[in-house]
Structure 1
Amino acid sequence: MDRRKFLTGAGAGAAGVTLAAPAIAQSAPQVRWRCTSSFPKSLDTIYGGAEDVAKYVREATDGAFDIQVYAAGEIVPGLQAADAVSSGTVEMCHTAAYYYVGKSPTWALGAVVPFGLNARGMFAWLYYGGGIDLLNEFYNTQGLHYLPTGNTGAQMGGWFSKEINSVADLNGLKMRIAGLAGRVMEKLGVVPQQIAGGDIYPALERGTIDAAEWIGPYDDEKLGFYQVAPYYYYPGWWEGNLVLNSFVNTESWNQLPDIYKSLLETACRAATIEMLAEYDFKNPQALQRLVQQGAQPRPFPQDVMQATFAASQEVYAEINANDPAFKKIYDSMMGFQAQTYLWQQVSEYTFDTFMMIKQREGALAGQK
């Protein structure tokens, strides 16, 4: 059945009833936006977040609100996406806010910070803990409106050309690592590098860097890191989740009709759930393939975990002492952190731990 004909009453005359067109179709203005992504099309899951948003908005308005998505490099390089929005070159971008910590460390709080929240905790804080409003107090000063648009879940700790057996092995290591994690790693002797996703493999291959983190098995397999750096460490303690986000130019946002604002917010929420679910479905299979191709998953040694946690607290103390904008948002986020981990360990953790033990025993139905 043609949905549009049905909604306008075509074919409904059997009972002498004519259905009115939806209110949005009667008064929807034509809006055409460009959205530049920080990601290449080849990374279909993370790039797909922006495409999902565009699709949902386009369908809901019968094409009246049309967002055209462009991959990294088609309009501006991936790490310049937010700048293109604030300058008005494009109306919108899809990116990770922590790419711009060079401007201010506060940018990272809209994405993820080391030893921060997991995905569920981040969702709770953003949507119910006032996180989005707090972040927009800051991003609005940059000419941007912030909308969470995707999440990867907890990430892997990255690919290393040599084994990491202790904290001492980090000293002098050149590593591609994003966000505030670079400042944490610097305290342990690492030389951090910020490199766009598509440039990581050649840097590893040439030895320009010794290690790199990206996201997790599904994307990492596509990027081929296992071919040049076999040791695959976990967890990515700097990314217990990663919120991808849309930035909208504030002038463009303010000019949108309220119904379009609501649609865009809803579409971004839907894309967030889609991305997390897609990664959760694809990562297990990709990890198994990576191991078959020679990848060697390894847990970070406990002394590395303890040292990086301590270093992260030093970084936060330094930033909080000098950056009121960061401290205001950080205090809210971390104030919720203790609560969410208290709750998650009561039921979620005990259930998951029991089921993980059963998985190791080969007792789950899917293993028989």
Structure 2
Amino acid sequence: MFKTRKSLLSVVSAVTLSTALIGLSTEASASEKVRWKIPTVFGTHLPGLGDPIKLVTEQIGAASENQVQFKVYEPGKLVPPFGITEAVKNNQVPAAYAWLGYDQGKIPASALLSAVPFGMEPWAYAAWWYDGEGKKLAEDLYAKHNAHPVLCSVIGPETAGWFKKEIKTLDDIKGLKIRFAGLGGKVLQELGASVTVIPGGEIFPALEKGAIDASEFSMPAVDQMMGFDKVAKYNYFPGWHQTYTASHLLVNKTVWDKLPDDRKALVDMACTAGTFRALTRGEAIQGDIIAGFPAKGVKATRMSNELLAGLKKASDKVMAEQSAADADFKRIYESQQAFAAKYSTWKKLAYLPDDL
């Protein structure tokens, strides 16, 4: 009888312990759920530029069986587009889909992570990020601002801008009122333009009302959706000021550091997939848009080599000045330049020339 009772107590104890462990396991799983509000700087209807975060949200939810969920907010719905980094830094939001170039005023080197005049092509930038020093340098830079950047989108060059009048020489830029973001804006200021930076949603009315004479924003398929072709009929190429456009999932660093490793890996994987799909999407849809320009009275023009050489000279001056003024800028720019030089050796040998 005593042995039977003892055995029964052992069984009960084992069941109780097992139940407790299951409870702890369930609580641990529940604690690992991620529910993030994600404000965006670009409308999610914009192909390649704004929609990558939608794909990332869908994929990360499916892959985690909804243990990780993002709720995406359109520009201005949760925080102002130009206030995204501050909101992430202060943990007003856990993360955001951002274009880091808008941080240029407070973090000069941030512009290099988003777009560089006469910089790398998008696949070269991605190679620098993943296989060069890019990821580490960016993380070090933003750690100072309690944020962790994850590359989440790269697309090809923007157009060189939509203008209401023809641009044939550098003198034609002087006195223009123009919306230009990032380092390209500093180059045009160097050449005598009056440069302003306004959010994407404000560009069309500014062009329509004559508050600005010209603007850049993105690739032709995006710009058409913004309506620029209705009010500015001269669209210039190539996008000398923004040879790639990189966007990032910017996560509050304290939030990121507390994530379990499997959740970090899931976010990284989803954003890596988003980066590739943004690139393919952006490259796939531009030709048809440009083919429709003549019917709309839009003239697509490639800038002369002489004009590009003048822009390159002004860009080199701006980059040198920025490097001299900020150690982080100098470090990141030199890393990009060194990587681009090595990459060019491969590119020149490996790829067919365009003029065959």
Same fold (TM > 0.5): yes
2:47–2:281 contact (8 Å) kept in structure 1? no
Q: In the alignment, what sits opposite 2:94? A: 91
> What is the deviation of 1:117?
0.7
What is the distance in 1 between the residues matched to 2:145 and 2:293? 41
Q: In the alignment, what sits opposite 1:13? A: none
2:47–2:221 contact (8 Å) kept in structure 1? no
Residues 286-305 of structure 1, C-alpha deviation per residue, up to 9 Å, x if partnerless?
Answer: 11123321110011232321
Q: In the alignment, what sits opposite 2:59? A: 56
Residues 96-131 of structure 1, C-alpha deviation per residue, up to 9 Å, x if partnerless?
Answer: 111111113211121111111111110111111121
Secondary structure, aligned partner of 2:79: coil
Q: In the alignment, what sits opposite 1:318? A: 321
Q: Percent identity at matched positions?
A: 33
Larger Rg: 2
> What is the deviation of 1:197?
0.8
What is the distance in 2 between the residues matched to 1:86 and 1:290? 42
Residues 27-80 of structure 1, C-alpha deviation per residue, up to 9 Å, x if partnerless?
Answer: 462221111100124424422111111111111110011111111011012222
Q: In the alignment, what sits opposite 1:46? A: 49
State the TM-score, normalized to the length of structure 1: 0.86
Q: Does 1:155 align with 2:154?
A: no
Secondary structure, aligned partner of 2:97: strand
Residue in structure 2 matching 1:168, options 166, 171, 178: 171
Residue in structure 2 matching 1:80, options 72, 80, 83: 83
What is the distance in 2 between the residues matched to 1:317 and 1:110? 17
What is the distance in 2 between the residues matched to 1:216 and 1:96? 15
Secondary structure, aligned partner of 1:33: strand
Runs of 4+ in 1 over 6 A off after TM superposition: none
Q: In the alignment, what sits opposite 2:188? A: 185
Secondary structure, aligned partner of 1:142: coil
- Bigger mean CA offset, 222-231 vs 290-299: 290-299
> What is the deviation of 1:158?
1.2
Q: In the alignment, what sits opposite 1:299? A: 302
Q: Does 1:271 align with 2:239?
A: no
Q: Please, which runs of 5 or more residues in structure 2 have no aligned partner?
A: 1-24
Q: In the alignment, what sits opposite 1:238? A: 241
What is the distance in 2 between the residues matched to 1:256 and 1:154? 34
Residues 141-190 of structure 1, C-alpha deviation per residue, up to 9 Å, x if partnerless?
Answer: 01110111111212211100000011110100111111011111111111
Change (3 A) 1:291 1:244: farther
Q: In the alignment, what sits opposite 1:253? A: 256
AA aligned to 2:176 is: L
What is the distance in 1 between the residues matched to 2:188 and 2:344? 25
Secondary structure, aligned partner of 1:75: coil
What is the distance in 2 between the residues matched to 1:52 and 1:90? 20
2:44–2:54 contact (8 Å) kept in structure 1? no
AA aligned to 1:213 is: E
Q: Does 1:111 align with 2:108?
A: no
Higher RCO (CA 8 Å, separation ≥ 6 residues): 2
What is the distance in 2 between the residues matched to 1:191 and 1:301? 23
Matched positions, count: 330
What is the distance in 2 between the residues matched to 1:44 and 1:305? 28
AA aligned to 1:158 is: G
- Bigger mean CA offset, 244-253 vs 295-304: 295-304
What is the distance in 2 between the residues matched to 1:127 and 1:41? 25
Give the CA RMSD over aligned residues. 1.7
1:152–1:215 contact (8 Å) kept in structure 2? no
Secondary structure, aligned partner of 2:51: helix
What is the distance in 1 between the residues matched to 2:57 and 2:98? 15
What is the distance in 1 between the residues matched to 2:41 and 2:352? 34
What is the distance in 2 between the residues matched to 1:144 and 1:131? 16
What is the distance in 2 between the residues matched to 1:282 and 1:162? 26
1:149–1:269 contact (8 Å) kept in structure 2? yes
Residue in structure 2 matching 1:143, options 138, 143, 146: 146
Change (3 A) 1:315 1:256: same
Residue in structure 2 matching 1:262, options 257, 262, 265: 265
Q: In the alignment, what sits opposite 1:70? A: 73
Q: In the alignment, what sits opposite 2:7? A: none
Q: In the alignment, what sits opposite 2:229? A: 226
Change (3 A) 1:45 1:241: closer
